Structure 1
Amino acid sequence: MSRFLFVVPPLAGHVNPAAAVAAELGGRGHDVAWAGQPAVLAGRVAPDAPVFPCAGAPELDARPRDLRGVAALKFLWDDFFAPLAYAMAPGVTTAVMEFGPDLLVVDQQTVAGALVAERLGVPYVTSSTTSAELSGSLIGIPKVDSWLTDLLDGLRLRLGDPSARYDPRFSPRLTLVFSTSELAGPVAHGRGPLRFVGPALGSRAEITDFPWDWVERDDDSRSLVLVSLGTANTTVGARFLARCVDAVRARSRAVRAVVVDPGGLLGPPRGDDDVLIRPVVPQLALLARTDAVVCHAGHNTVTEALWHGVPLVVAPIRDDQPVVAAQVTDAGAGVRVRFGRADARAVGSALDDVLGRPRFAAAARRIGHSFRAAGGAPAAAVHLEELADEEQENPWHGLQI
């Protein structure tokens, strides 16, 4: 049996796929530990798994609301991921020294794990929870790629092995991609060995007070829509969520919706015949009963919807979301609207398309089939087991790329 240390950021969308893989490894008899923020990991990882606490960075949701494009990406790395790397490095180092892992599984944007691993000579695998990084720069501008390379080189000088030459966001041994080529599309050169395993969907914390009777009414044949902007956009979505509610109410004879509002932007949780507003929902269970999803094109929400064969209306806000939204539309599985400008008419028209034109649902089902064929968490666990065995038999010490 092997020992695996998972290194993750304080972001639920990055923890959930890793937790599914970790649970699979634990079920196969391996030892699993975590390096991250205990408050974020609680309820998402096995309760008996060792957690080595790491310091965090400023809250991501505290960034200026109007940042988009290059400015948003620059803020994300300058003010969140880079400070997070410096803050987490001591905790990750302690975790490696005390737990003694055979292999680290490092979130792609938690580069402290990659850099500490290379400095200490411990092999690591990249966990790519958003396939947007595979295509090159998140917005395809060479100057941005150059700026990000310089930033990563600076982090490596402080935290890693200065002689290393590979991109720490992509392990020279293996990158697990929680998507498939049917959705992600072409991969940029120089990303190292990749394995597309599809979404890793594990168990989630139970939500006991969700009104399932509202969802599962036998006397209601209307299409059910899920509206969600994820957990990292709770301060910017008031206008868009309100327009979604308006669009649904304008189609109340044919459509009803569950709206996720963790920030309470629409007021207290409530429900009527047409719209149910809740701070949290059992998303995976709900998607099995959903006909369409309106979302911010977050990678987790998109892949979970497509796993269930559900077409999407995507309204990307920033970061990797425009790239993921393009993947959805290029695959024919959804319609894109502009987050900042879409009114109820635009959202409603997009809903009419994805609900009324069978080709969108057909494309979503096709991608869902590719996800299942890729294997998910069990396939990821097999790749990790095989690499851990190889490393123990023939370690690649001093690997340079």
Structure 2
Amino acid sequence: MSRYLFVVPPLVGHINPLVGVAAELADRGHQVAWAGQPDVVHRLAGQDARVFPSPASWTDGVPRPADIRGPEALRFLWERFLVPLADAMAEGVRGAVEVFRPDVVVADQQAVAGGLVAERLGMRWATSATTSAEFADVLSAMPKVAAWNDALLDELRRRIGAPDGTADPRFSPHLVLAFTTEELAGPPARGGDRIRWVGPSLTARPSPAGFPWEWLDPGRATVLVTLGTANTDVGRRFLTECAAALRARADRMQAVIVDPEGVLGTGSPRGDAAHRGEDTRDAQQDKDLLAVPVVPQLALLGHVDAVVCHAGHNTVCESLWHGVPLVVAPIRDDQPVIAAQVADAGAGVRVRFGRATEARVGAAIDAVLYAPGYRAAARAIGSAFRSAGGAAAAAAHLEQLARDRNEEDSV
């Protein structure tokens, strides 16, 4: 039996893939604990999960301007979120290691305190890559930005890691678990032979009450529109254009739109309740369009024919797992990279988020639904995902890493 400590940021999309891995390890007789924000981890991994507060609560405190893109957005992400979060998490991660004494630390790429602290303490550690964007090494074309990013990490290492350490906390020298496959991500520019392509880790998760399954019309195509949990501040115009495009095609399709802030007229915002898994039946509903604060996404994807989204990695992978083609409109962060992967793989159409109009969105939806090739490509990627093994494959790689560590200790 081995012990595994999962170090995670307070981000739903970065915790969900590891929930299935943790459950698989527990089923195999291992002990699992988490270092992260307790309320978020408990909501996703269950109230029985052992969580070391790291930190006990967290807010980045600085709302991100809705219009920043490119290097400016990267700078904001690192300076206002990732680095402050790492500083806030470091002490809790060290404490968790000292108390729990894990054989392996599993650190999310955006919880960089996990890798830095593990290296400082001489621990075996693995990287959890819940998005493949880092593998693309997009900064190689921007050497000044890359140098700035490296200097930021060096300063952070001096504060919380091993001053003489060399490992990039986003790429463990021992193991990188990639929750995708090369069929979507393409050949990696970084990570090399440390990467293990395990595909999506999908597991049952709490679902909101009251989704009107009887509303779905089997005689028409169903299109899901979602911008994820972190983009409601910029979504009003995009969701409005999508609604108009889908209403114009109501003779042959219907729309389910995730609208947590009620911008399409769903009444008072219910985003907080939705995130807690509460009843979210406050909805705008007619025979052609259903707008709800949250949906049971995994279950719903088995009933939809296309997805329009922001190219968030989890939504993209969950859709392709079900063989559903995509219209992707990336907003920021890793989303342009993921959107390019979808388009390059032939599994969807990319549109510009800031210039999306009813006509452009409608044409893209028509393409993925009716033009040859998109659905076939989506199904091929889904087949590759399932063959990769998911949570079971990830657990097996972590078990091997623990065995390697124990064998070294016994020599």
**Sequence identity, in percent?**
60
Counterparts of 1:91 and 1:166, CA distance in 2: 21
Counterparts of 1:344 and 1:19, CA distance in 2: 38
SS at match of 2:336: helix
Of stretches 182-191 and 57-66 in structure 1, the one that deviates more from structure 2 is: 57-66
Shift of the alpha carbon at 1:38?
1.3
Counterparts of 2:62 and 2:304, CA distance in 1: 28
Of stretches 20-29 and 257-266 in structure 1, the one that deviates more from structure 2 is: 257-266
Counterpart of 2:34 in structure 1 is 34
**Inter-CA distance 163–176: structure 2 relative to 1 (3 Å threshold):** same
The answer to whether the 8 A contact 2:42-2:48 is kept is no
**Inter-CA distance 233–6: structure 2 relative to 1 (3 Å threshold):** same
Counterpart of 1:265 in structure 2 is 263
The answer to whether the 8 A contact 1:173-1:192 is kept is no
Shift of the alpha carbon at 1:123?
1.1
1:44-75 deviation digits (Å, cap 9, x = unpaired): 11332211112255348821111111111110
The answer to whether the 8 A contact 1:86-1:112 is kept is yes
Shift of the alpha carbon at 1:139?
8.3
Counterparts of 2:369 and 2:62, CA distance in 1: 32
What is the one-letter code of the residue matched to 1:49? A
**Inter-CA distance 158–4: structure 2 relative to 1 (3 Å threshold):** same
Choose which of 266, 279, 283 in structure 1 pairs with 2:297: 283
Is 1:314 matched with 2:314? no
Counterparts of 1:277 and 1:262, CA distance in 2: 9
Q: Could you tell me the TM-score, scaled by structure 2's length? A: 0.93
Counterpart of 2:75 in structure 1 is 74
The answer to whether the 8 A contact 1:4-1:105 is kept is yes
Is 1:121 matched with 2:130? no
**Inter-CA distance 274–140: structure 2 relative to 1 (3 Å threshold):** farther
Counterpart of 1:296 in structure 2 is 310
Counterpart of 2:277 in structure 1 is none
Counterpart of 1:182 in structure 2 is 183
What is the one-letter code of the residue matched to 2:104? L
What is the one-letter code of the residue matched to 1:81? L
- Give the aligned CA root-mean-square deviation in angstroms: 1.6
Of stretches 143-152 and 98-107 in structure 1, the one that deviates more from structure 2 is: 143-152
SS at match of 2:43: coil
Shift of the alpha carbon at 1:396?
11
1:243-274 deviation digits (Å, cap 9, x = unpaired): 10000001000111111112223232211111
Of stretches 205-214 and 241-250 in structure 1, the one that deviates more from structure 2 is: 205-214
The answer to whether the 8 A contact 1:57-1:83 is kept is no
**Inter-CA distance 396–84: structure 2 relative to 1 (3 Å threshold):** farther
SS at match of 2:224: strand
Counterpart of 2:276 in structure 1 is none
Counterparts of 2:2 and 2:314, CA distance in 1: 28
Counterpart of 2:345 in structure 1 is 331
Counterpart of 1:137 in structure 2 is 138
The alignment of Structure 1 onto Structure 2 pairs a total of residues equal to 394
Shift of the alpha carbon at 1:208?
2.2
Point out where structure 2 has 5 or more consecutive residues left out of the alignment.
267-282
What is the one-letter code of the residue matched to 2:133? A
Counterparts of 1:345 and 1:396, CA distance in 2: 66
Shift of the alpha carbon at 1:39?
1.8
SS at match of 1:91: helix
Is 1:12 matched with 2:26? no
Counterpart of 2:245 in structure 1 is 247
What is the one-letter code of the residue matched to 1:282? P
Point out where structure 1 has 5 or more consecutive residues left out of the alignment.
none
**Inter-CA distance 122–361: structure 2 relative to 1 (3 Å threshold):** same
The answer to whether the 8 A contact 1:33-1:49 is kept is yes
The answer to whether the 8 A contact 2:136-2:188 is kept is yes
Counterparts of 1:61 and 1:312, CA distance in 2: 32
The answer to whether the 8 A contact 1:199-1:371 is kept is yes
Is 1:222 matched with 2:220? yes
The answer to whether the 8 A contact 1:69-1:139 is kept is no
Counterparts of 1:246 and 1:28, CA distance in 2: 50
